[in-house]
Structure 1
C-alpha cells in the first residue's frame, strides 16, 4: 500500500511516499533519501521490497528535485538536504504507521554520506544502511577515483584533467550567477569521455537510460556550483554513530572511494561492511540490486524488531 504525504522543510513543501505492509498498526520504519540528482521514484524497488518484509518505508524528494518545491530547480545543497532529512525523520516519527522508537535511515551514494552524519547526531536512530556511499573524504578520495577511472574504465588522465578544469570553470560561472540572482548554469549528470558532467563514463548511455527509465521526474542536469561546496567527511563522525551501521561498497566503484568508505565504516562501534564485485551503478540493476536488497533487509530485520516482534512477524 502506497500513499503520498508531505512535510515542510525550511518553508518548502517536500513530497514523500509511504510504503506500508498489509498488516495494521505501527511498524518499524525506514526513511530513504535518493542520491545526488535522483528522485524518490528511483527508490521504489527498494521501498516495495522492504514493505513486503514488514517495514513501513518513507521516501522523499529533496527540495529543488522531483515533486518537491523549491526554486531554482536541480540545485544540490548539502546543508539544505541535511535539513530535509531531519524534517523527513520528524515526519516519519509522527505517522501512525511507523513506530517512532524504531526508525532507521537508508541512503545511497550522495545520501549515503548524509545518513552517517544524521545518525551521529540523533541517538534515537535504530539502524543505518549506507549503500556505495559518498562520504566526502577530500583530495585522497579524488585521487583514488581518478586512479579507478583510468584503470577500470580506460579513461586517459588527460581527458580526466581537462574535464576537471572545465567542471571548476562551470562551478565558478554558476556561483557568480547565483550571487547575482540569475538562473543556474547547468551541467549534465552523465556525459561521455571528452564531455563535461558529474559522471564521465564510456557507459554513460546505459546509466542515462536507467535513470530516465526509473525516474519520470528525473532530469539529466544539475547546478554546477556544487563543486565549490562539496560534502566533507568530519573526522570522528562514524565513531559517534551508536546505531548498527551497514555499509555496502562496490569493489569496482569509479565514482566513490569504496576502500576509504569501508575503513570509515569499521571505525563505527557497530559498523559492518559488505563488499560486492561490481561498479557503482551496477548495484541499481539486477541481479546485484536484488542481492543487496536481501542483505539490507536481513540487516534491518535483525536490528529493528525486538525478539517478541520477530517471533510475531
Structure 2
C-alpha cells in the first residue's frame, strides 16, 4: 500500500503532519493522472494517527479505490503547534479550522477529485466533522464514529455535581495562572491510581489508552486544563445540525458507550435532516475502534461510502422565511436560492419553473439548482345541504432543489400539506429503486409524482360534487324544488380555477423537462427520441406530464358538464314558469269573463237608475217648499202656487252645477297629463 508522509500549512501558519494513502497500482483508476475521491480521517480526544488510523485508511483505500489523508491535530503527535500555544492542548474551533485546511490541501493535489472529499471522525473529531460539514459545502459525506456531539452534556453525565463546581474553580485558577505567564497545568487523560482525577475516568478508557502508552507509541497521557474547559463547553455541532443537509451523514453508535451515550447520539441524529443513516453497534466507546467491532464499523463505513444516501428533503413554511430577513439571506448565500422568488409576484404566481448552474474556478459544475411552484385548489365536502358555498383550501407549494456535482442533493418543500410530506418521504424511503446518479432528476420526479396525486384527488373531489348534482335530476321533485343557481355558479368558479392550475402545472413540468441538463452539460438522453433508459426519472416525468394533461382534460369535461347542468336547470325553470304563466292566463280569462258579466249587471243597474232619474228629479223639485197646493175655502178649487223666492234655487243650483263640472274637468285633465308624462318617460327609457 503506497503511503507517503505529508505535511500542510493551516490558515494561521501551523504545520500539520500525517500520511497520505493511495490505492495499489493494480487498483482500477489508480494509474497516474486519474483523480480519485479522498477521505480525511481524524482521531479523537488526545489520540494520534498511530492509534489505529493507518489500518483503517489502508482498508478504505484498497477496498474503495480512494485516497485517504490521516494527520495529527495541532499540538499532538508529529504536528506542530502555534507560537504561544502549549502542546497537548485541545482548542476545538482551531481543530475544525484545521479540518477545512486539510480539505483545501487535498483539493490542491493532482491525484484527488476535488468534488469528492469526505470526512471520517472518531469521538470528539466525529462531532467536529459534522460541524465542518454544516459550514463547508466542499464536504460530500461524513462518517461519525461514536460522535461526542455535546461536550457539556457528556461532562455532566461523567462528573458528579460537586466535581463540576471544582472544575469551574480549576478553570478560573488556570486562566489566572496563564495570564501571569505560568506554564499550563496538565492533567492525565486516563489513570488507574486511586484518588487521581483523570479526564476520562472509566475503566474502558484506561484499557484502551494504556496499551498505547506501553508499546513505544509517542502518545502522551496528558492534556492541559484549558483543553478540559474547551471540550466541556463544545456544543457547536448541535447548533448547526439543520445546516448539514444535503451532505450525507453516517452515525455509528455504540450501544454501551458511556463517553458518547447512545441516547444522546440518537437524539441529535433525529435532528439531522435527510440524507442520513445510523448503525447501532453492540460495543462501548473504544470497542468501536478495536477488536472485532473495528471490522464491523469499518464495513459499515465501506457500505455507506459505496452507496451513501444522497437525497434529502426539508419541509418548511414560507412565512417563516418571509418574516425573517436573516433566514432569507442565508438561503440566498448558502443555498443559491434566487432572491426574486421571495418577491410577491412570484409567491402569488399560479406556477413557474426555472434552473441555474454555477461553476468553480476550473469551469467544472459545482452546483445545479432548480425551482418550481404548483398551485392546487382542494374542495372540501359541504357540512350540510343548506350550505350556500363550498369550503376549499389553496395548496401554494414551492420547491427548490440544490444538487452538488458529487450527486448529493437536498429539496426544500415550502407550504406542502401533511399528506404530501408523508407520501414523499415514504416514496424516497421505500427502496423500490436505487437513486440515480442525477440526484436533481430523481428528486424532481419524486415531487412531481406526489403533486400529480394531489391534482388527481382535487379533480375527483370536483367530480363527486358535480355527479351529485347530476343525480338529483332523477328526483321527480327536482324542478319543483328551488334550484340554487348561486351555488352552482360558485362550484363553476372552483372548476374554472382547477382547469387553470392544471394547465399551468403541465406547462411547469414541460419547462422542467426542457430545462434539464445533466452534470456533463448535455441534455438527458431520454428527453427526446427513443426512450433508451426506462429507469431514467425523466421517462417517469414524461409519463406524469401526460397524466397531468389528461387531468386537465377531465377538469374541462367537468366544467362542461356543470355548464350543461346550469343550462338545463335554467331551461327547466323557464319551462316550469311558462306552464305556470299559461295557468295564470287561463285564470285571468275566467276572471275577465266574470268581470264582463259583472259589467253587464252594472250596466243594467245604470239604465234602470237613469230611467228613474228624471222622475226623481221632478218629484224632488215639486216637493220643495217653493211649491204649494192652495185650496180656495169659498169655492173649493185647488191651484198651484209658486213662491216668489223660487229664483233663489236657480241662483244657487246653476252656479254650483257649473262649478262641479269645471272641477271634474280640471281633475280629469290633470290625470290625463300625469298619464301622458308616464308614457313619455317609459318610451324614452326603452329607446
What is the TM-score when the length of structure 2 is the normalising length? 0.41
Cα pair distance change 1:74/1:84, threshold 3 Å: same
Q: Give yes or no for contact 1:172–1:228 (8 Å, CA) kept in 2.
A: no
Q: Return the match for 2:265 from 256, 261, 265.
A: 261
Q: Against the structure 1 CA distance between its residues 213 and 293, is the aligned structure 2 distance closer, same or farther, given a 3 Å change threshold?
A: farther
Give the aligned partner of residue 151 of structure 1. none
Residue in 1 that maps onto 2:134: 120
Output aligned runs, 1:27-176, within 5 Å. Answer: 27-42=36-51, 43-53=53-63, 54-70=65-81, 71-136=85-150, 138-139=152-153, 141-143=154-156, 145-146=157-158, 160=160, 163-176=163-176
Partner Cα distance (1:201, 1:296) in 2? 27
Q: How has the CA–CA distance of structure 1 residues 234 and 105 changed in structure 2, closer, same or farther, with 3 Å as cutoff?
A: closer
Cα deviation per residue 1:180-199 (whole Å; 9 max; x = unaligned)? 23221100001236421111
After TM superposition, give the deviation of residue 205 of structure 1 in Å.
3.9
CA, structure 1 residues 225+94, in 2 after alignment: closer, same or farther (shift >3 Å)? same
1:209, distance to aligned residue in structure 2 (A): 2.6
2:664 is matched with which residue?
A: none
Q: 1:249 to 1:234 in 2, by over 3 A?
A: closer
More helix by share: 2
5+ long unaligned stretches in structure 1: 147-156, 309-313
Kindly state the Cα deviation for residue 236 of structure 1 after the two structures are TM-superposed.
Answer: 4.9
Comparing 230-239 and 28-37, the one that deviates more: 230-239
Q: Secondary structure at the match of 1:76?
A: coil
2:21–2:68: 8 Å Cα contact kept in structure 1?
yes
* 8 A Cα contact 2:36 2:113, kept in partner: yes
State the Cα distance separating 1:257 from its structure 2 match: 2.8
Deviation at 1:167, TM superposition (A): 4.0
CA distance in 2, matches of 1:289, 1:279: 11
Contact 1:5–1:16 at 8 Å: present in 2 too?
yes
Q: 8 Å contact 1:167–1:196 — kept in the other structure?
A: no
Cα separation, 2, equivalents of 1:58 and 1:288: 23
For 1:244 and 1:169, locate their aligned partners in 2 and report how far apart those are by CA, in whole Å.
Answer: 41
Displacement of 1:104 in angstroms is 0.3
Q: Is the 8 A contact 2:256 2:284 kept in 1?
A: yes
Q: What SS class does the counterpart of residue 91 from structure 1 fall into?
A: helix
Would you say the 8 A contact 1:249–1:275 is kept in 2?
yes
| Cα contact 1:173–1:185 (8 A) shared by 2 | no
Distance change (3 Å), C-alpha of 1:240 and 1:281: same
With over 3 angstroms needed to count, the CA separation of the structure-2 counterparts of 1:284 and 1:179, relative to structure 1, is: same
TM-score normalised over the length of structure 1: 0.86
Q: What CA distance in whole angstroms lies between the structure 2 residues aligned with 1:214 and 1:124?
A: 38
Task: Please list, as runs of the form range in 1=range in 2, the aligned pairs for 1:207-218 lying within 5 A after superposition.
Answer: 207-212=208-213, 216-218=217-219
- Which whole-Å CA distance do the structure 1 matches of 2:216 and 2:91 have between them? 20
Distance 1:169 1:191, change over 3 A: farther
SS of match in other structure, 1:281 = coil
8 Å CA contact 2:127–2:149 kept in 1: the answer is yes
Match among 293, 298, 303 for residue 298 of structure 1: 303
**Structure 2 unaligned runs (5+)?**
25-29, 311-405, 408-435, 438-687
Residue 185 (structure 1) aligns with: 185
8 Å contact from structure 2 (residues 119, 141) kept in 1: yes
Question: Could you tell me how far 1:222 is from its partner in structure 2?
Answer: 0.4
Contact 2:199 2:228 in 1 (8 A): no
| 25-34 or 193-202, larger mean C-alpha shift | 193-202
- How far apart, CA to CA, are the structure 2 residues paired with 1:37 and 1:161? 25
User: Measured at CA, do residues 168 and 219 of structure 1 come closer, stay the same or move farther in structure 2, by a change above 3 Å?
Assistant: farther
Superposition deviation, residue 62 in structure 1? 1.4
Equivalents in 1 of 2:164, 2:181: separation in Å? 26
Change beyond 3 A, Cα 1:235–1:134 = closer
Q: CA shift at 1:288, angstroms?
A: 0.3
- Summarize the alignment of residues 218-297 of structure 1 with structure 2, pairs less than 5 Å apart: 218-229=219-230, 230-233=233-236, 235-241=238-244, 242-266=246-270, 267-297=272-302
* 1:204 to 1:273, Cα distance in 2 relative to 1, 3 A: closer
Q: 2-side partners of 1:215 and 1:125: how far apart?
A: 35
- The answer to whether the Cα contact below 8 Å between 1:163 and 1:196 also exists between their aligned partners in 2 is no
Does the 8 Å CA contact 2:123/2:148 hold for their aligned counterparts? yes
SS at match of 2:78: coil
Q: Cα RMSD between the aligned structures?
A: 2.4
> SS at the partner of 1:39?
coil
- With 170-179 and 185-194 compared, the bigger mean Cα shift is at 170-179
